[in-house]
Structure 1
Amino acid sequence: MKAIIICPWEDTLCLREAFGLSSPFLLSIGNKPLLEYVLDFCNLCGIREIRVLQSRPDARLREYYGGGSRWNCEISYGICREGQPLREILLRNAGMIGGDDLFLISGYLFFACRMDAGVKIEVAPDEVRGKVLRGERGLFVAGRERCRNFTLEGLAESRRLPPGDLLSLDSVKNYYELSMRLVSGEARNYVMHSYCRDEDIYIGAGVEIPLRAEVNKPVMLGDNSRLSERTAAGPGAIVGCNSLIDVGTSVINSIVMDNTYVGPELEIRNKIICRNRLIDPYSGTYVDVLDEFILTGVSSRLPGRLFHWAVAMVCGGGILLAQAAPWLLLRPFLSVRPTPGIYFVDHRATRWIRLNLYRAPARIWCDRLFYKFSLHKTHLVVLAMMNRIRLVGNHPLPVSAEVRELLERFGNYHLGVFNYSEMLEHEDDPVQIELDEFYYSHHAGLWFNLKLLCRTLVRNLFRER
């Protein structure tokens, strides 16, 4: 048996608008993408060849799933016309189907069934089984002869097979209710990502939970999610992958989508948060929250700014004095070369500066010493002493239309020589950089910057490049 999964673009309109989806099959339900549930079911049924059809090309989906080797199957991709009948689609994919039976999902659906027991699907060569939601949207199992001349006639006689319920993902409410069902117990029916033995707590890889944070079951924490001090996650909370919940915030019966930063001292109850969007799951209405209301800017009082500037000048001068001799000794023997680029200086995106940044990996011993002693920052420290950039600030963001839109969401952004993302070694992960910069924009201050500077210099000493 083979499988074809069809997702018409029009079926995803509601959730695409609410969540800004560019790849509907990568929408996280619980703590993993929608298509993974289908792949798990196909594995249980012994289906090894799967084709995914959409109305538009989806490069992100291809990049994430590749050829399907991680799921012990072979995945291929294709395009179908909007509104194209199932019979035409199967005829166009007859070469892939061959002489096998077919498992077919048509529509933006979730198939709710138990996957902790053996699943066996049998169908006669001239039979079609399954369930219809509306029109030709539904889940079907067709025999090899029926695939050549596919119709839904006689389907009502075999509505019990395959076992399970079909749930349409055509509204924010349906998505929210399905997610709450999963976190409240139904996730036990599926193969879920978790590094916790408790059946009501699902914790992904690389999750950070401080000692003073609360995790109240049932709860799901996605890969690389981070809780802060005095954070309360749950009951009924789903925190997506690469998301960060800041100090003192509680998340109850709510969903924090992937790649989302939630500010400090908030109570999130019965809501969905997707990046800077707060969504009511029952009505589907949403508010785009300006980050200035979530993030507190750094104090702009003149005496404080002068004191911070004076401390930065003292630290910068000390760094230059310590680095001068080794820089002069090592610089002539380097094999790495800086990469030129143009970067925004502040959140107003009206000023930019040309910088030469060392990002190439070390190849010889003097390259490694150059990085370990932070000598790749020396020329940038000179710019900080000239007051053109800050000694400690935000990660360099290149000049582009996309970055300009991102900076509009920052309450405070100032390009710095040393930055929070570098300290955490997230320089190569754009999603983590964005979350880190939101976090830094709120917590930036004299003592925080001093700790960041010291930790970065120490970490560079022991970091392998």
Structure 2
Amino acid sequence: MNTGSVQTLIVLREEEHAWLQDLFRSRHPMMVTLCNKPFIEYLIDFAILSGSEALRIASDSPITDLENYCGNGSRWGITIDYAHILPEDDRERLLEKNRQFCSRGKTMLIEKTLFVAYDKKNDYRLWLRACPEGVAVSGTSGSITILGNKQENSIPGPIPEPSLPMLLTIGEYYRLADDTLKNADRYILPGYSSEPDCFLGRNVVIQKGAEIRKPVMIGNNVQISAGSIIGPGAIIGSNVIIDRESVVSGSILMDNTFIGEQLEVKGRIADGSLLIDPESGATLQMEDPHLMSAIQPGASTKQIIRRIIHALAALALLIVLALPFLILRPLLGLRRNWHTKKRLFPPGATAKKLTIEQVVIRPEGAYGRLAIALSIDRYPSLFKVLGGKLRLIGHRPAVSSDTSTISSGCIAMNPAVFGYAETEEWPENERDELMVDHYHLLHSGSLNDIGLLLKALLNKKHM
């Protein structure tokens, strides 16, 4: 036996964390995030702090998403592999199946445990050296057992010890997340922190007029609209949209969640369209997608396909409308009924500033009405769809305002030639249009976009 090496064996049994699986069905319990970091990463961190060079995850159920996330452990500088066990395997059988792995040296066996409370400033290698063989830490939420370790009595000074917080209900999860946020200096947490109690991920857009109150944690690809108040005690996951004038405090927004405008979320956990009261455990499925809904995580392949479909449809329109455009454009110019206005999409609406030119034609005379009916005013913008700067259908800002900048309420919108709002008859103002745009932004796909485009072309409301 190589007594100098240390490894960690994490045992996962499907039935042990059923309460968490029942709430967050789309992910493995170990992939549920605590302060925007999956539970499995906290265990990996602790293994590394304890001096482990290798880590094995043994599970009695499929863990494909876990394997895809952790890989071989190279990004943490530790070797990770995987093993399968049966639900009926007891401790003796478990160790027999992993005998070769455990025989390398000292082994830290973690069972029934989602989270280990540690302090990154401590050297847990000293703790491991001081622990005798047997159960080192135990509680209702799991245990840590040391195998093949000879206790060393000559270690000077106090020995830091980890702990296993009780974690068997959604209320305990909520309180643990709050405690972790308040004691963020103990852990290795994601995000950039330029000041205490404030963690920001990548590509976070906070529009002018929004207020951030510490402590707060915000994940990647988050858009917060004007007038919103975030915090204190807010944990915002990744790929989240918070519409204007909404309030999120003392709450957790899981990944891929949309919060509609003027919605107040206090002391709750929101996961897509599911709203959870952590104290009572009561859940509410929100039926109105304009208030709260799940955002389908974007896939690069789907985005490429969508862009190609939009470009092909735009090319078809360019060909079909070429002759009407060549005839009507000069006639409208002679009658001074062809005007252009530039509109600037701020960084809150696109990844970077984008200036687009929109044509305004008054519905005056036969030529004006015909041009609008044929969407000739949109013809010049179709070329930008081919260049990938505009979508064919998405969010089309109003041109009635004299301002040259798009409203700050237009968050997360895809600037487009035709607007989703043009497919409906009922929107009466910009707020109504934004509601329609938000809905289709979250729920529309490539094929749906083509159907909505046809509906926008046939709908004369935009005349």
**1:8 matched residue in structure 2:** 13
Q: TM-score, normalised by structure 1?
A: 0.61
Q: 1:236 aligns with which of 208, 233, 237?
A: 233
Matches within 5 A, 1:62-461: 62-120=67-125, 121-123=127-129, 127-134=133-140, 137-143=142-148, 163-183=161-181, 185-292=182-289, 294=291, 320-321=320-321, 374-375=385-386, 392-393=393-394, 438=438, 440=440
In structure 2, relative to structure 1, the CA distance for the partners of 1:374 and 1:19 (3 Å cut) is same
Gap regions ≥5 residues in structure 2: 1-5, 152-157, 294-315, 326-381, 396-415, 421-435, 454-463
Partner deviation per Cα, 1:97-116 (whole Å, 9 max, x = no partner): 22311111101431112112
TM superposition shift of 1:376 = 9.1
Partners of 1:241 and 1:259 within 8 A in 2: yes
d(CA) in 2 for partners of 1:323 and 1:87? Answer: 81
TM superposition shift of 1:251 = 0.4
Partners of 2:221 and 2:238 within 8 A in 1: yes
SS in 2 for 1:60: helix
Amino acid at match of 1:172: I
TM superposition shift of 1:249 = 0.7
Does residue 38 (structure 1) correspond to residue 43 (structure 2)? The answer is yes
d(CA) in 2 for partners of 1:391 and 1:170? Answer: 49
d(CA) in 2 for partners of 1:29 and 1:257? Answer: 9
TM superposition shift of 1:78 = 1.7
SS in 2 for 1:291: coil
Partners of 1:323 and 1:375 within 8 A in 2: no
Give the number of equivalent residue pairs: 322
TM superposition shift of 1:270 = 0.5
TM superposition shift of 1:145 = 8.5
**2:331 matched residue in structure 1:** none
Amino acid at match of 2:137: K
In structure 2, relative to structure 1, the CA distance for the partners of 1:91 and 1:324 (3 Å cut) is farther
TM superposition shift of 1:237 = 0.3
d(CA) in 1 for partners of 2:292 and 2:49? Answer: 46
Partner deviation per Cα, 1:55-96 (whole Å, 9 max, x = no partner): 211111111111110010111112222253222211110111
d(CA) in 2 for partners of 1:105 and 1:442? Answer: 40
SS in 2 for 1:208: strand
d(CA) in 1 for partners of 2:75 and 2:169? Answer: 31
TM superposition shift of 1:373 = 5.2
Partner deviation per Cα, 1:380-403 (whole Å, 9 max, x = no partner): xxxxxxxxxx96259xxxxxxxxx
d(CA) in 1 for partners of 2:55 and 2:30? Answer: 14
In structure 2, relative to structure 1, the CA distance for the partners of 1:217 and 1:68 (3 Å cut) is same
TM superposition shift of 1:162 = 6.8
TM superposition shift of 1:119 = 2.3
Partner deviation per Cα, 1:226-260 (whole Å, 9 max, x = no partner): 21111111000000111111111110100001111
d(CA) in 2 for partners of 1:94 and 1:161? Answer: 29
Amino acid at match of 2:72: G
Once the two structures are overlaid, the 10-residue window that deviates more, 286-295 or 126-135, is 126-135
Partners of 2:10 and 2:110 within 8 A in 1: yes
d(CA) in 2 for partners of 1:25 and 1:86? Answer: 21
Rg larger in 1 or in 2?
Answer: 2
Amino acid at match of 1:278: L
SS in 2 for 1:173: helix
Amino acid at match of 2:128: E
d(CA) in 1 for partners of 2:38 and 2:51? Answer: 21
Partner deviation per Cα, 1:113-153 (whole Å, 9 max, x = no partner): 21123222334897224122249x3122222589xxxxxxx
Partners of 2:259 and 2:292 within 8 A in 1: no
d(CA) in 1 for partners of 2:246 and 2:63? Answer: 36
Amino acid at match of 1:96: F
TM superposition shift of 1:174 = 0.9
Amino acid at match of 1:34: F
Partners of 1:7 and 1:54 within 8 A in 2: yes
Among all aligned residue pairs of Structure 1 and Structure 2, give the percentage whose two residues are the same amino acid.
30
Partner deviation per Cα, 1:184-212 (whole Å, 9 max, x = no partner): x2111011122222120011112111122
TM superposition shift of 1:320 = 5.0
Partners of 1:8 and 1:83 within 8 A in 2: no
Partner deviation per Cα, 1:360-393 (whole Å, 9 max, x = no partner): xxxxxxxxxxx9754599xxxxxxxxxxxx9625
SS in 2 for 1:91: helix
d(CA) in 1 for partners of 2:324 and 2:52? Answer: 64
SS in 2 for 1:188: helix
Amino acid at match of 1:132: S
Consecutive aligned runs of 4 or more in structure 1 exceeding 6 Å deviation = 316-319, 416-420
RMSD across aligned positions (CA): 3.8
SS in 2 for 1:197: strand
**1:340 matched residue in structure 2:** none
In structure 2, relative to structure 1, the CA distance for the partners of 1:70 and 1:232 (3 Å cut) is same
d(CA) in 1 for partners of 2:159 and 2:198? Answer: 32
In structure 2, relative to structure 1, the CA distance for the partners of 1:443 and 1:171 (3 Å cut) is closer
Amino acid at match of 1:63: N
**2:30 matched residue in structure 1:** 25
Gap regions ≥5 residues in structure 1: 147-159, 297-315, 326-370, 378-389, 395-415, 421-435, 454-465
Partners of 1:3 and 1:47 within 8 A in 2: yes
TM superposition shift of 1:16 = 1.2
In structure 2, relative to structure 1, the CA distance for the partners of 1:417 and 1:51 (3 Å cut) is farther
d(CA) in 1 for partners of 2:146 and 2:227? Answer: 50
In structure 2, relative to structure 1, the CA distance for the partners of 1:443 and 1:282 (3 Å cut) is same
